[in-house]
């Protein structure tokens, strides 16, 4: 039984699945691989902020998912630069994981821990639990993996995008992920899949490294 809490399965809303057929292929691969719950996390970033379209696509796929024995839920991958003190209620009510106050926060590669703190604390003060998406991608942590502890001290959870385990061994993302994994830093392992092929790679990594 595998839960995937970060996935770009909704077609036509961001840089994930581009067609309905691709979304259905992702569901088929997921069902076949033993995934029983998927959190759809479309980007909330720049031109990808059409939540009306997100809901339409989600409502369509939730039925397809159910037919395959998968619970599909809705959240978002919230990009740090979209933060504004005036939109905290919107973030809480619309962009958190369904039925929870958990927000999946995406940083830019160059976001510093201090800049992240300026966003994380207001989110937390407003009752949100913050998950940091794929810390292995961020330059500061790649440079000094031990800095991931700063996010743990802030009471954030860290989410591994397991696709990086399929990268070549010299890849900085892979090496950073391995260091964090070894340090038991990750609370969640997710696919961050954008296509059926991504999902296949994810499932290979999950099985190979016993990630579920």
Site for Fe ion (CB under 5 A): which residue of 77, 82, 136, 198? 77
Under the criterion CB under 5 A, does residue 192 sit at the interface with Fe ion? yes
Q: Which is nearer to Fe ion, 98 or 149 (CB)?
A: 98
**Candidate ranges 18-26, 58-66, 177-185, 191-199; the one touching Fe ion (CB under 5 A):** 191-199
- For residues 129 and 117, is the Cβ–Cβ distance under 8 A? no
In angstroms, give the least distance from the CB of 153 to Fe ion: 24
Annotate 43-54 with DSSP letters as a single string: EESGGG--HHHH
Strand ranges (DSSP E) for 8-128? 35-40, 43-44, 71-74, 77-79, 102-106
Pick 4 or 192: Cβ nearer Fe ion: 192
Rounded to whole angstroms, the Cα distance separating 171 from 120 reads: 28
Shortest spacing between CB 43 and Fe ion, in angstroms = 7
The answer to whether 198 contacts Fe ion (rule: CB under 5 A) is no
For residue 108, give the DSSP letter. Answer: P
Q: Decide if residue 163 touches Fe ion (CB under 5 A).
A: no
Mark 151-168 as b/e (b = at least 16 C-beta within 10 Å). beeeebbbbbbbbbbeee
Give the interface with Fe ion as residue ranges (CB under 5 A): 77, 192
């Amino acid at each position: 039984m595998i839960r995937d809490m970060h996935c770009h399965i909704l077609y036509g809303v961001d840089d994930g699945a581009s067609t309905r057929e691709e979304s259905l292929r992702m569901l088929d691969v997921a069902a076949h691989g033993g995934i029983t719950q998927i959190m759809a996390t479309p980007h909330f970033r720049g031109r990808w902020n059409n939540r009306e379209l997100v809901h339409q696509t989600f409502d369509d796929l939730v039925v397809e998912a159910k037919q395959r024995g998968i619970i599909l839920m809705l959240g978002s991958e919230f990009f740090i630069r979209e933060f504004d003190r005036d939109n905290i209620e919107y973030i809480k009510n619309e962009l958190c994981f369904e039925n929870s106050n958990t927000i999946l926060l995406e940083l830019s590669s160059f976001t510093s821990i201090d800049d992240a703190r300026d966003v994380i604390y207001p989110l937390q003060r407003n009752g949100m639990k913050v998950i940091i998406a794929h810390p292995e991608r961020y330059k500061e942590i790649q440079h000094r993996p031990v800095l991931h502890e700063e996010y743990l001290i802030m009471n954030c959870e860290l989410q591994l995008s397991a696709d990086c385990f399929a990268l070549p061994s010299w890849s900085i993302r892979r090496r950073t992920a391995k260091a964090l994994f070894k340090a038991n830093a990750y609370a969640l392992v997710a696919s961050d899949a954008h296509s059926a092929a991504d999902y296949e790679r994810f499932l290979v990594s999950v099985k190979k490294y016993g990630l579920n």
